[in-house]
Structures are given as structure tokens and as C-alpha cells.
């Protein structure tokens, strides 16, 4: 079993990979800026997601306490998450939309996905993704007040874990890119990461008396991943970093929409 220094080093590497947080380098770290080995460190993905979600919750909570509207507080909560991650997953979503729907051949789609410019499909996909996330969180604010922010760490944790499912279902779409250079998790590591994310998500849902919403939202996010993997297989023959980033965004949107629907059915707190 890995020692505490190895576990802490893995967590720090994963946090550096997924976020722009200014983390210090500790003496026990052997390779502080190495790419993480997700075969061993997949468990740290939902933990990192929970940290990102907690930072967003803090920003949204401060905005709410300052007297800003639920819509503005929701926008600031999500803006904080985007800033902390450097729009890591949003970039993947935009590139995926451009590549999957804007190219006529596999080679052309992969070429489009490598292009740093955003096209029409990418711009539209990014716009609607951000809009749905803000509106769904604002609706949760309306029904629950600032308590809705408790859901953000679990949503961020679970969405990042389930988004790696295409790795288990598809080969890499190419030999280049971030996904091809990072050791990716197998089934046991993915199950562990998803289990940790599910626990964080479930605790928040149970605390807010949304047990059914937590179950349905998690199930919906999970069920969408094979469909996205099938689309990626048909369009580009496998997965890459952009596909995985897009999967995280779809999973997060599914979680937010399902939870806001469940909260509406239950009624205000």
C-alpha cells in the first residue's frame, strides 16, 4: 500500500494537473511537476473536484451574503470554478463540439480539435453549457437559498470521476495530446474514483433532503457517458483529452439539471 508521502504527492500532482491553484512544493515530493499517473492516483480526481467545487461555493456564498441576486451569485460561483481550473474542461467541450460536428472525416475532426480557435459549434456549445449551469444553480438558490452551495463539491467531484468512463470503453484517438501522454486509470481505479465522488455527492444530497434527486442525478450522469463514448467512437474512433473534458461538462450539467428538477418537485426548504 502506498505511503502517506506517495498519496500526498499524488494528490498534489492531480491538483496541479486539474487546477491553477498556486500550490507549494514540499520536500517529500520526488517529482513535483510530473504528470500524474492516474492508474494509481485516480482517487485524487474527485477530491480535487471537491476542492474546486468548495471554492465555487465560497464565492457564491459571499455573493449571496453581500445581497446579490441568486442569478449573480450562481454566475460568480461558476466563474470561480472556471478561473481555478483555467477553463480546462470548458475548452475540451468547445473543441469537442467543433471537431465532432464540424468535420467531414476522422482526420479533419481531429485536426479541428487541435486548433486553438473556437468555431461556431464550439461557441454555441460553450454558451449553452454555461447558461444551463448558471440557470440550474440559480434555480437551486431560489428553492434552497445559500444551502444549495453545499451541492457544488459533490457535483464537481462526481462529474470529474464519471467523465473518465470513455477511457474504459475506447482506445485513444491518436498518439499525441494530453490524454495520450498521461497514464489513464483502469476499471478498479475508475470505480474507486467514482465511488469517492458518489459518496461526496450523496452526503450533500442527504443533508439537503434530496436522496432521490441525488440518486437520479448520479444515475443520469453515469448513463450519458456510454452515449458520448459511442459518439466519439463513430466520429473520431476513440477518446482524447477534449472528449474527456466535454464529458465532464455534460455530466455536471446533468447533475445540476436533475437536482434542480428534484428540488422543484420537493418544493422550497
**Mean pLDDT of all residues in 73-85:** 97
Q: What are phi and psi of 239, to 5 degrees?
A: -110, 160
**Mean pLDDT of all residues in 124-138:** 97
pLDDT given at position 123: 96
pLDDT given at position 6: 79
**Mean pLDDT of all residues in 234-256:** 96
Please report which confidence band the pLDDT of residue 104 belongs to, taking 50, 70 and 90 as the band edges: confident
pLDDT given at position 233: 95
pLDDT in tens, 21-73: 999 888 777 777 778 889 999 999 999 999 999 999 999 999 999 999 999 99
pLDDT given at position 268: 72
Please report which confidence band the pLDDT of residue 182 belongs to, taking 50, 70 and 90 as the band edges: confident
Q: First and final CA of the chain: distance in angstroms?
A: 44
3-state per-residue secondary structure call for the chain: CCCHHHHHHHHHHHHHHHCCCCCCCCCCCCCCCCCCCHHHHCCHHHHHHHHHHHHHHHHHHHHHHCCCCHHHHHHHHHHHHHHHHCCHHHHHHHHHHHHHHHCCCHHHHHHHHHCCCCCHHHHHHHHHHHHHHHHHHHHHHHHHHHHHHHHHHHHHHHHHHHCCHHHHHCCECCCCCHHHHCCCCCHHHHHHHHHHHHHHHHHHHHHCCCHHHHHHHHHHHHHHHHHHHHHHHHHHCCECHHHHHHHHHHHHHHHHHHHHHHHHHHCCC
Please report which confidence band the pLDDT of residue 179 belongs to, taking 50, 70 and 90 as the band edges: low
Q: Cβ atoms within 10 A of the Cβ of 228, count?
A: 22
Task: Name the residue among 175, 184, 164 with its Cα closest to residue 228.
Answer: 164
pLDDT given at position 176: 66
State the pTM of this model. 0.94
pLDDT above 80 for 82: yes
Q: Cβ atoms within 10 A of the Cβ of 197, count?
A: 30
> Quick check: 124 and 97 in contact, CB under 8 A?
yes
Percentage of the chain with pLDDT > 90?
78
pLDDT in tens, 2-30: 678 778 888 999 999 999 999 988 877 77
pLDDT in tens, 90-102: 999 999 999 999 8
**Residue ranges per domain, the chain?**
38-266
pLDDT given at position 36: 87
Please report which confidence band the pLDDT of residue 163 belongs to, taking 50, 70 and 90 as the band edges: very high
pLDDT above 70 for 177: no
Task: Name the residue among 147, 142, 138, 151 with its Cα closest to residue 76.
Answer: 138
Please report which confidence band the pLDDT of residue 166 belongs to, taking 50, 70 and 90 as the band edges: very high
Maximum separation of any 2 CA atoms in the chain, in Å: 52
Task: Name the residue among 62, 58, 43 with its Cα closest to residue 200.
Answer: 43
Bigger pLDDT: 36 vs 257: 257
pLDDT in tens, 132-160: 999 999 999 999 999 999 999 999 999 99
pLDDT above 90 for 1: no
Amino acid at each position: 500500500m502506498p505511503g502517506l508521502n506517495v498519496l500526498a504527492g499524488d494528490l498534489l500532482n492531480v491538483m496541479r494537473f486539474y487546477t491553477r491553484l498556486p500550490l507549494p512544493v514540499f520536500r517529500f515530493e520526488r517529482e513535483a511537476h510530473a504528470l500524474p499517473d492516474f492508474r494509481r492516483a485516480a482517487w485524487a480526481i474527485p477530491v480535487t473536484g471537491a476542492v474546486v467545487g468548495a471554492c465555487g461555493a465560497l464565492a457564491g456564498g459571499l455573493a449571496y451574503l453581500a445581497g446579490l441576486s441568486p442569478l449573480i451569485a450562481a454566475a460568480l460561483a461558476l466563474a470561480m470554478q472556471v478561473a481555478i481550473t483555467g477553463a480546462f474542461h470548458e475548452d475540451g467541450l468547445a473543441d469537442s463540439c467543433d471537431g465532432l460536428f464540424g468535420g467531414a472525416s476522422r482526420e479533419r475532426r481531429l485536426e479541428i480539435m487541435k486548433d486553438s480557435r473556437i468555431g461556431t459549434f464550439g461557441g454555441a456549445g460553450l454558451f449553452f453549457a454555461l447558461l444551463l449551469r448558471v440557470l440550474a444553480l440559480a434555480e437551486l438558490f431560489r428553492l434552497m437559498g445559500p444551502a444549495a452551495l453545499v451541492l457544488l463539491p459533490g457535483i464537481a467531484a462526481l462529474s470529474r470521476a464519471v467523465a473518465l468512463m470513455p477511457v474504459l470503453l475506447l482506445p485513444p484517438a491518436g498518439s499525441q495530446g494530453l490524454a495520450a501522454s498521461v497514464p489513464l486509470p483502469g476499471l478498479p481505479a475508475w470505480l474507486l474514483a467514482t465511488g469517492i465522488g458518489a459518496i461526496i455527492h450523496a452526503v450533500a444530497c442527504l443533508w439537503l433532503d434530496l436522496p432521490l434527486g441525488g440518486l437520479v442525478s448520479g444515475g443520469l450522469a453515469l448513463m450519458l457517458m456510454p452515449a458520448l463514448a459511442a459518439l466519439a467512437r463513430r466520429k473520431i474512433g476513440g477518446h482524447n483529452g477534449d472528449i474527456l473534458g466535454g464529458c465532464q461538462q455534460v455530466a455536471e450539467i446533468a447533475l445540476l439539471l436533475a437536482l434542480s428538477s428534484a428540488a422543484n418537485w420537493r418544493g422550497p426548504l
